């Protein structure tokens, strides 16, 4: 873990914003927000713990989540990778996947009262600002649907979102984003401008694979510089910093 002096330990990083010329970030007609790292953080790891416990409950096999890439992935992809890493064959796993996913949903639902979710800076103000401008707000997340809605409910954010795209049927994030964008255009109009908001390179890559612009925020596990390397239409140190630059009153 990097060390810092006591003097600077609690100072927030400097605000950084880069917007591609011509991109009007707050004039899109629909927004698809990632959840983890973008809207909130789950320090209790209740969702993460549910993978190994649910796999064991259904298969009797112990798996480790060490080394399994999770940031910007989908629950289906994480599950398959964890099982493959543990030597579980696809032939054995695939008939049991839905049972494992259901065990995950039940596990997180049973432990939802233990969640101590932390909102990322500026989230509520950003959602309120975009809603005031008449934008349609949805989520596009690697979470299973039941788990994603639980997090938003426990974080007090559920009221902002009219629909969502989730990973129950999608291992590939771009396919999940494309499905969410279809839902957005069903509600906002076939020609609606749809923008993805996320915190990982995979959010950017998935959005661009769907020909969608993306707002990348460095509030998760990736720095501003790493996100900027993937050329999002907008890169911000946080939604709070973006709103401050836009001079939006809370």
Q: What is the mean pLDDT of residues 122-137?
A: 97
Q: pLDDT > 70: what percent of the chain?
A: 94
Confidence (pLDDT) at 197: 98
> How many structural domains comprise the chain?
2
For residues 53 and 65, the answer to whether their CB atoms sit within 8 Å is no
Q: Provide the pLDDT for residue 189.
A: 95
Phi and psi at residue 153, in whole multiples of 5°? -65, -45
pLDDT of residue 32: 98
Bridge partners (DSSP) listed for residue 214: 196
Sheet holding 30-33, edge to edge: 17-19, 234-236, 214-217, 194-198, 30-33, 136-140, 163-165
Can you tell me the distance from the alpha carbon of 189 to that of 18, in angstroms, rounded to the nearest whole number? 29
Question: What was the pLDDT predicted at 247?
Answer: 73
Residue of higher predicted confidence among 182 and 6: 182
Mean local confidence (pLDDT), 90-116:
96
Does residue 31 share a domain with residue 149?
A: yes
172 lies in the same domain as 239: yes
Q: Containing domain of residue 142, as a range? A: 17-43+117-246
Residue 92 has pLDDT above 70, yes or no: yes
Q: How far is the C-alpha of 220 from the C-alpha of 200, rounded, in Å? A: 7
Cβ(154)–Cβ(112) under 8 Å? yes
Q: Where a domain ends, among 63, 85, 114?
A: 114
181 found inside a domain = yes
| pTM of the model as a whole | 0.91
């Amino acid at each position: 873990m990097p060390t810092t002096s006591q003097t600077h330990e609690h100072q927030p990083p400097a605000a950084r914003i880069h917007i591609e010329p011509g991109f009007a970030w707050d004039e899109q007609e629909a927004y698809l927000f990632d959840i983890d790292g973008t809207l909130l953080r789950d320090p209790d790891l209740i969702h993460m713990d549910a993978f190994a416990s649910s796999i064991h409950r259904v298969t009797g096999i112990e798996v480790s989540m060490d080394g399994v890439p999770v940031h910007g992935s989908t629950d289906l992809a994480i599950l398959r990778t964890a099982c493959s890493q543990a030597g579980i064959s696809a032939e054995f796993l695939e008939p049991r996947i839905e049972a494992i996913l259901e065990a995950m949903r039940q596990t997180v639902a049973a432990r939802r009262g233990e969640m101590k979710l932390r909102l990322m800076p500026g989230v509520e103000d950003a959602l309120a600002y975009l809603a005031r401008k008449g934008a349609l707000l949805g989520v596009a997340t690697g979470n299973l649907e039941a788990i994603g809605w639980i997090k938003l409910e426990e974080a007090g954010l559920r009221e902002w979102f009219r629909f969502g795209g989730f990973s129950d049927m999608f291992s590939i994030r771009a396919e999940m984003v494309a499905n969410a964008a279809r839902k957005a255009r069903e509600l906002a109009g076939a020609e609606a401008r749809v923008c993805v908001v996320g915190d990982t390179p995979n959010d950017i890559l998935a959005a661009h694979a769907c020909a969608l612009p993306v707002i990348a925020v460095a509030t998760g596990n990736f720095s501003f510089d790493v996100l900027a390397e993937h050329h999002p239409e907008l890169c911000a140190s946080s939604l709070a910093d973006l709103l401050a630059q836009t001079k939006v009153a809370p």
